[in-house]
Amino acid sequence: MDYSDEKLALRAYGATDVGRRRQVNEDAFLCEDTLGLWVVADGMGGHAAGEIASQEAIDTIWGMVKRGKRALALDGKFTNEKANAACRLLEGAVQAATYMVYAMAELDAEKTGMGTTISAMMAVGRHAITAQVGDSRIYQVRNSDVVQLTEDHTLIAWQLKQGLITEEESKRSKHRNVITRAVGNRDYVQVDTGIVDLELGDQYLLCSDGLHGYLKVAEIPEIAAAGGHESVKRFIDLANRRGGKDNITAILVEVC
């Protein structure tokens, strides 16, 4: 079943790269255009546990959405009831992934503490639902304007929001990599969800911090303008040129 709207087709292009410093790629991603689901996961935990956490989380989210999305079939109206149901589905899928990764770590001492970020986007007719845990990101590019649709769940982001530090201080902080929410560290996590109206020509960039840590927001429209696989390649090349200290993952979803 094709879940895309008749008047709007969504096509995605994705890639991941180990970067220049890491030996293992603990990132994972999903591009499922027919289902209308795109996910970036940045794993953590060491001993290959991060790699397992990110892939298991994505597999669980995919399975939950595949089973539950048929109930969201639209009759031309995106009512509040439908919107709430869509948010619950994607949030529930992330919660299921959280419990799965946590349970795996409980059963294997070598995987204790493993987890992953999740940035997910699910198309429902002419709308998209986003779900966020951690510090991967989703950006919207519309008419060359860029909006970050997700909020980083990091200590730095919290301190900035509370006015405890300045932007300049955040750049020098020793706590830049401290994540306050992750999928799998516990058996439950708070998931941020959002709803966005899709428009013809929109582009959505989902990426791990291995990319956005090097990327200036003002650079996104020009790179995205190349479109498709070429844009994704340019994003990854940029991160590698600027240091490539982490794994790098990017998905570009285009509304056409």
pLDDT of 98 over the 70 cut = yes
pLDDT mean across residues, the chain: 91
Where does the pLDDT of residue 5 fall: very low under 50, low under 70, confident under 90, or very high at 90 and above? Answer: very low
Query: What's at 13, amino acid-wise?
Result: Y
pLDDT of 92 over the 60 cut = yes
pLDDT on residue 1: 35
The pair phi, psi for residue 20, each rounded to 5°, is -105, -10
For residues 148 and 217, the answer to whether their CB atoms sit within 8 Å is yes
Concatenated DSSP letters for the chain? Answer: ---B-SS--EEEEEEEE-TTT-SS--EEEEEETTTTEEEEEEEE-STTHHHHHHHHHHHHHHHHHHHHGGGG--SS---HHHHHHHHHHHHHHHHHHHHHHHHHHHH-GGGTT-EE-EEEEEEEBTEEEEEEESS-EEEEEETTEEEE-S---BHHHHHHHTTSS-HHHHHH-TTTT-BS--BSSSS----EEEEEE--TT-EEEEE-HHHHTT--GGGHHHHHHT-HHHHHHHHHHHHHHTT--S-EEEEEEEE-
Map out the domains of the chain as residue ranges. 10-151+182-255
Q: Tell me the per-residue pLDDT of 169-196, one tens digit each, with 9 for 90 and over.
A: 666 666 667 789 999 989 999 999 999 9
Assigned token pair, 240: 């590698």
Could you tell me which CATH class the domain 10-151+182-255 is placed in?
Answer: alpha beta
Q: List Cα–Cα distances, 253 to 97, 133, 177, 198, 231, in angstroms.
A: 23, 20, 27, 11, 11
pLDDT on residue 165: 66
Assigned token pair, 140: 């919207």
The predicted model gives 214-219 an average pLDDT of 97
Q: Which of 249, 256, 254 is nearest to 25 (CA)?
A: 249
pLDDT on residue 110: 86
Q: Tell me the per-residue pLDDT of 19-42, one tens digit each, with 9 for 90 and over.
A: 999 999 999 999 999 999 999 999
pLDDT on residue 99: 97
> With a threshold of 0.75, does the pTM exceed it?
yes
Q: What percent of the chain has pLDDT over 90?
A: 79
pLDDT of 151 over the 60 cut = yes
Q: Tell me the per-residue pLDDT of 158-172, one tens digit each, with 9 for 90 and over.
A: 566 667 666 666 666
pLDDT on residue 78: 86
**Angle of CA points 209, 180, 30, to nearest 5°:** 45
For residues 27 and 249, the answer to whether their CB atoms sit within 8 Å is yes
